Amino acid sequence: MQDQIEKDTVIRIRRALLAWYGRNARVLPWRGTRDPYAIWVAEIMLQQTRIDQGTPYFERFIKAFPTVEALAEASEDAVLKLWEGLGYYSRARNLHRAAKLVAFERGGAFPATAAEWQALPGVGRYTAGAIASIAFNEVAPVLDGNVKRVLSRLFDIAAPIDRPATERQLWALAETLVAPRRPGDFNQAMMELGATVCVPKAPSCGTCPVRRWCRAAERGTQAERPVKGKKAAVPHYEIVVAAIEKNGRFLLGKRPPNGLLGGLWEFPGGKVQTAESHAEALEREIREELGVAIRVGGLAAVVNHAYSHFKVTLNVYRCAIKSGAPQPKTHTALKWVPRAHFDRYAFPKANHKFLGAL
């Protein structure tokens, strides 16, 4: 990939970007430190999360778990409760698992290289490169959404960036550009440029420190980059939810640790099948999940929610058990919880939308 850009140009891009970063870097709570724990937590949190949304979560998380040992010793429920609302909960579960490995199996010693970081749960090539370069000054590249956008414009890449071949090309370019003396600052500068200047729509090319080397700006194609493949239509599911109440308490189930929303507490229910009424679907779902027969009462709430790859409409019904004793057939645990104690449990964001109706 070195043949696509002259060595002198590489040096000039590095210098310009690092100088710009020195003047324009935002003050963020995980910057200005080489603490691998804080950098690791921040990088995991900021996957699929905007900085303005993730910053208060980071501050609360570090306050609650100031060291990797504190995180390792915490319960999964406590970790998920602090993560509640950020989504992509596998990040929190993997971070918790990895903290236990570092604290208990490595004696609190963090990996020092990108290759070693990738051996931890939930740490891929991007995250490993970010931590190793920022905390340990390893010359390792990074490639997140912001960096992909910067590189696709800088080199005017017309191929869809979600193709494996294009991703390999982008990684090679990132590796060519990363500054050998200040790799952590350079990687953060690339990410900062994509977040604040080389933004998805209407990039501020007039203030871009690397505009003179940007092929897309030269050719006027910056609005067309990056190119992405066509997305499939987003499916929509009709969901029924049972707010089963007894003596002022509601029945909650804990989702299995793996899969979507793993480890969170929820109200039982599921998808409505073809030709089923809501009541029929709810009776079937509760029979399958809890092994009980229920009486379906009035509709308490209807809420819409969008996940990354599908959308749902939740139809929440007040219910009561007609016969049988609830058993956790699909959940790992069941609890009867009073409304006043809901704030002690980590719920999916969609559930939060109807708690007030109960």
Active site residues: 43
d(CA 6, CA 248) in angstroms, rounded, equals 72
d(CA 227, CA 151) in angstroms, rounded, equals 12
What lies within 8 Å, CB to CB, of 16 at 6+ separation is 209, 210
Residue listed under structure tokens 């980059």:
225
Query: 320, 294 in Cβ contact below 8 A?
Result: yes
Three-class SS state of 89: coil
* 39 φ/ψ angles, rounded to the nearest 5 degrees: -65, -40
Residue listed under structure tokens 């020195």:
22
Residue listed under structure tokens 């236990």:
100
Q: How far apart are the first and last CA of the chain?
A: 59
Facing residues of 243 across strands? Answer: 318
Task: Estimate the share of the chain in helix, then strand, then coil, as percent rounded to the nearest 5.
Answer: 45, 15, 35
Using a CB cutoff of 8 Å and minimum separation of 24, what contacts does 174-182 make?
Answer: 174/141, 174/142, 174/143, 174/147, 175/1, 175/141, 176/1, 176/2, 176/5, 176/10, 177/10, 177/13, 177/14, 177/141, 178/133, 178/139, 178/140, 178/141, 178/142, 179/14, 179/18, 179/139, 180/139, 182/18
Where does residue 85 fall: left (phi above 0), alpha (psi -120 to 50 degrees), or beta otherwise?
A: left
Where does residue 248 fall: left (phi above 0), alpha (psi -120 to 50 degrees), or beta otherwise?
A: left
d(CA 163, CA 228) in angstroms, rounded, equals 9
